[in-house]
Amino acid sequence: MLSFFSGADVTVIVPAFNEAASVADTIRSLQAQSARPREIIVVDDCSTDGTGDVARALGVTVVRPPANTGSKAGAQTFALRYVRTPLTIAVDADTVLAPEAIERLLPAFGQRGVAAACGFVLPQRVRSVWERGRYIEYLFAFTFYKQVQEYYGKPLISSGCFSMYRTAILRAQGGWSNRTLAEDMDLTWSLYQAGYEVRFVPEAVCYPIEPRTFRLMSTQLRRWSHGFVQNVKLHWRDVLAVPYLRSAVAVAFWDATVAAAVYLVALPVLAVLLASPWVLLGYVIDAPAVLVPVLAGAVPRREVGRALASVPAFFLLRTVNAVFFLRAVCAELLLGRPLRHYEKGH
């Protein structure tokens, strides 16, 4: 059979539950890719806001499971059966891609052992304090942490909002698992354990919508923090066999537990004991150090002003982040009350 398709031999899966407001932008950004995917599959996970109709109107494939799958992982895995291409991309329904994002990711699969690749993430909107905090967090992490992880061959997570996978390997892994609330981390670590490689390609940029209110942010942080602890609990033995990853996970776990406790408790206690509010300067004492990678990421994007204006929000988000991680550690590890319900946030 002759084929006149000249784009990328990839299928994009867009899981969507009540995403009518944002899914059109996502689809349009996929259709405008320099390497246009062979097929775009929107999983209308039994939405009630017409998400499926919006997607259908844009000419993409829409599939609908018989009942709500209950999680993003469930919706993505449901769609995996329809994929006929060797590569699969997962994109969140609130995420738009830079025009060359897919094209930039493709070369990573020139190496045989590569099972997944992800790109640089930046918030689509940077307006509220929470979006600003997340903006700095991403600039910091993707400019510094993730680049170092990539150099050592072990990006900690192939981001769930935009990642490309080898379909065969993805299927062999059983798709995305919903045994934890952080299916992207679960999959990434599983791939490492199976001997595969994961790549981070900073030139492939995506823009998800980040939580703009505290309520949405808390929903997301609860899911992420519990997901992280669940993954550590699930994978820790196997992660120990993966060089560098074990160190990165150990450090992250330490910071999510002990360092968070010190951060939240020790500084106020010291301030009280010493009767000096100056001790609380400790919360922002690392601001200059944080600014270095943030500005390194912002300067090439000509976003220095936005970055500087957003830095204070980062310290607020960091504190809230610490609270949620401590709660998650207590609930999952100490109290034995794991979070199972997947609550949608942005």
Partner 1 sequence: MNAGLPGTGIGGIFYLASALAMPLREAYRRARGRKVGNWRVVAAQLAIAGGILGAMWVTGWLLGLALKAARPITGLGISLPPGNVLRIATVTLALGTLAGVLAGVELLRLWVGRRRPTRAGRQRAALPGKAAPAGRADPHVGHERRRVALLLLLGLLVPGPRGALAQSPGRLAALLARADSAWAAKAESIAAREYAAVLAADPENSHATYRLAQLTRDDPAAALRLFRRYVELEPEDPWGYMAVADALAHAGRYTEALHSYDDALRLAPGEPEAVAGRAKVFPRARAAAPAVTPLVSGTRDSDGNSTFRLGASAELQVLGPVRVGVEASRDRVTDGVSTAGLAQLALRAAWRPGRLASVEGALGGTRLERSDSVSTTVVPTGRMRARWRSSTHGPTVDLRAQRSVLAASPLLVDNRVVRTELRAVVEIPVARALKLRALGRTALLRDNADLNHRSTLGGVLAVALSPVIELSGQVHEIRYSHASTAGYFAPRLGQIVEAGSYVELETPSGWLLALDVGAGAQRVAEFGGQPGAWSRALRWYSLITAPLAPGRALQLELEAENSTIAREAATSGAWRYGSAALSLRWAL
Residues from 5 through 44 that contact partner 1 (CB under 8 A): 9
Which is nearest to 168 in space by CA: 54, 69, 287, 83? 83
Q: Kindly tell me which residue out of 198, 204, 260, 298 binds partner 1, with binding defined by CB under 8 A.
A: 260
Please give the residues from 105 up to 124 whose contact with partner 1 meets the rule CB under 8 A: 109, 112
Q: Kindly tell me which residue out of 21, 148, 265, 299 binds partner 1, with binding defined by CB under 8 A.
A: 148
Question: Which range binds partner 1 by CB under 8 A, 68-76, 93-101, 203-211, 286-294?
Answer: 286-294
Q: Does 152 bind partner 1 (CB under 8 A)?
A: yes
Q: Kindly tell me which residue out of 79, 91, 204, 256 binds partner 1, with binding defined by CB under 8 A.
A: 256
Q: Kindly tell me which residue out of 105, 126, 198, 242 binds partner 1, with binding defined by CB under 8 A.
A: 242
Nearer to partner 1, 128 or 147 (CB): 147
- What backbone torsions phi and psi does residue 84 show, to the nearest 5 degrees? -120, 10
Minimal distance in Å, beta carbon 54 to partner 1? 27
Question: Which range binds partner 1 by CB under 8 A, 12-20, 22-30, 69-77, 163-171?
Answer: 163-171
Kindly tell me the sign of the dihedral angle through the C-alpha atoms of 226, 228, 231, 236. Answer: negative
Q: Kindly tell me which residue out of 72, 104, 166, 212 binds partner 1, with binding defined by CB under 8 A.
A: 166
Please give the residues from 303 up to 342 whose contact with partner 1 meets the rule CB under 8 A: 318, 321-322, 325
Q: Kindly tell me which residue out of 60, 116, 156, 209 binds partner 1, with binding defined by CB under 8 A.
A: 156
Say if residues 129 and 313 touch (Cβ distance below 8 Å): yes
Could you tell me which residues come within 8 angstroms of residue 52 by beta carbon, excluding any fewer than 6 positions away?
A: 42, 44, 62, 64
Minimal distance in Å, beta carbon 92 to partner 1? 13
Rounded Cα–Cα distance for residues 96 and 301 (Å): 17
Rounded Cα–Cα distance for residues 242 and 24 (Å): 40
Q: Kindly tell me which residue out of 263, 313, 339, 346 binds partner 1, with binding defined by CB under 8 A.
A: 263
Nearer to partner 1, 241 or 335 (CB): 241
Say if residues 228 and 332 touch (Cβ distance below 8 Å): no
Say if residues 80 and 88 touch (Cβ distance below 8 Å): yes
Minimal distance in Å, beta carbon 48 to partner 1? 27
Nearer to partner 1, 17 or 325 (CB): 325
Q: Does 273 bind partner 1 (CB under 8 A)?
A: no
Q: Does 147 bind partner 1 (CB under 8 A)?
A: yes
Q: Write each residue from 167 to 186 as x if it is in contact with partner 1 (CB under 8 A), else as -, in one continuous string.
A: xx---x---------x--x-
Rounded Cα–Cα distance for residues 173 and 226 (Å): 22
Q: Would you tell me how many other CB atoms lie within 10 Å of the CB of residue 104? A: 21
Q: Write each residue from 195 to 234 as x if it is in contact with partner 1 (CB under 8 A), else as -, in one continuous string.
A: x----------------------------x--xx------
